[in-house]
A = this chain, B = another copy of it.
Amino acid sequence: MRLGDLVTPALLVDAALLEANLTTMAAALPGPRLRPHVKAHKCTALARRQAAYGHRAFTCATAREVQGMVDAGLGDDLLLANEVLDLRRLRGLEARVTVAVDSPETIQAAAGAGVAEVLIDINVGLPRCGCPPSGAGRLAEMAQRAGLQVRGVMGYEGHAQGLADRSERARLTEEAMQLLLEAHRQVGGDVISAGGTGTYDLNRWATEIQAGSYVLMDTAYAQLDLPFRQALGVLATVISVSRDGYAVCDCGLKALGMDHGKPSMEAGHQPLLVSDEHLTFAVGQPVKVGDRLRVLPAHLDPTIAYHERMHVVEGEEVVETWAVDLRGW
Contacts and interface: CB of A to CB of B under 8 A. Distances in A.
Interface stretch (A25-33, A146-154, A173-181, A273-281): A273-281
B9 A243 contact: no
Contact of A240 (B128, B243, B246): B128
B276 A329 contact: no
A308 interface: yes
Contacts of A327: 254
A18 to B, nearest CB: 21
Contact of A129 (B86, B243, B248): B248
A128 B82 contact: no
Given A254-B305, A277-B39, A105 B289 contact: yes
Interface string A256-289: 0111000000000000111111101000000011
A23 interface: no
A274 B106 CA distance: 21
A53 interface: no
Question: Copies of this chain, how many?
Answer: 2
A242 B128 CA distance: 8
B242 A123 contact: yes
Contacts of A278: 82, 128-129
Contacts of A158: 275
A246 to B, nearest CB: 6
Interface residues of A, number: 61
A241 interface: yes
A106 to B, nearest CB: 7
A253 interface: yes
A61 interface: yes
Contact of A259 (B7, B85, B129, B258): B258
Contacts of A129: 239-240, 248, 278
Contact of A253 (B132, B259, B328): B259
Contacts of A276: 39, 61, 301-302
B329 A8 contact: yes
Contacts of A8: 86, 329
Contacts of A257: 253, 258
Contacts of A86: 7-8, 237
A288 B106 CA distance: 12
Interface of A: 7-10, 39, 61-63, 82-86, 102-103, 105-106, 123, 127-130, 132, 158, 237, 239-244, 246, 248, 250, 253-255, 257-259, 272-278, 280, 288-290, 299, 301-302, 305-308, 327-329
Given A8-B86, A82-B278, A129-B248, 7 more contacts: A85-B239, A128-B278, A129-B278, A254-B305, A258-B302, A305-B306, A308-B328
Ranked 8 nearest A-B pairs via Cβ: A105-B289, A83-B239, A258-B259, A129-B240, A253-B302, A254-B305, A61-B277, A276-B301
